[in-house]
Structure 1
Amino acid sequence: MTDNPSRPSEEAVEAAILSVASQPGAARTVTPEEVARSVATGTDWQSLLPSVRRGALRLAEAGRLVLYRKGKPVAPADLRGVYRLGLPPGGDGATAP
């Protein structure tokens, strides 16, 4: 597989995570798939899932995002398997609490 020159940057993926999670009317949490679909330029959104995971981990480590596993917050170092993304309570993800 070759590199895609239109692939979004890591910063663009992080911005998309915060944007999707903060949309009015959005569910309390969002899936990584929703974020990947929002930044994909074509139908190959699945290839963006590793970038979304890396971005989510960075944002969670900075306190700008909460990672959920089985409906409960989980520390970035303990994240395994299926997960969801949410903003910190009362936060917009702009700054660390």
Structure 2
Amino acid sequence: MAVDMEAVILDVLGRLAPGKSASSEEVARAADNENWRRLTGHVRSTARGLARQGKIVVTRHGKPADPENFKGVYRLRLPLPGEAPPPAAQSED
């Protein structure tokens, strides 16, 4: 089953109140509740791409993280009004 992970991420985040975030597990479960564990890598790679485009924000410890260089536990949320992306995300060619 092919999953449009970009659409799943944006759908999950779009249902949240402004400023609220979702875990990678929540997103993976929304895509496939039974086999979600095998989708977590796909969530991470897709989230990186969306963060580079400024469509979402990857957070660590509640603060925006560099989408190119984050490790460990992370959360995803939509950007807040007027929020600038992390410096690495701004230097897009």
The 5 Å alignment of 1:63-78 reads 63-78=54-69
**Given the alignment, which residue of 88, 92, 95 partners 2:79?**
88
1:78 CA drift (Å): 1.9
Superposition TM-score, scaled by structure 1 size: 0.77
**Given the alignment, which residue of 30, 45, 59 partners 1:38?**
30
Answer yes or no: is the 8 Å Cα contact 2:50–2:56 preserved in 1: yes
1:77 CA drift (Å): 1.5
1:7 CA drift (Å): 3.6
Question: Can you list the C-alpha shifts for 1:36-82, whole angstroms capped at 9, x where unaligned?
Answer: 01111x51110000000011000000110100001110111221100
Over the residues paired in the alignment, what is the CA RMSD in angstroms? 1.8
Closer, same or farther in 2 for the Cα pair 1:57/1:44, shift >3 Å?
same
Q: Extract unaligned runs of 5+ from structure 1.
A: 1-5, 92-97
What is the distance in 2 between the residues matched to 1:27 and 1:44? 28
- What SS does structure 1 have at the residue aligned with 2:58? strand
Superposition TM-score, scaled by structure 2 size: 0.80
Q: Aligned residue for 1:16? A: 8
Q: Aligned residue for 1:79? A: 70
Query: After TM superposition, where is structure 1 displaced by more than 4 Å over at least 4 residues in a row?
Result: 24-27
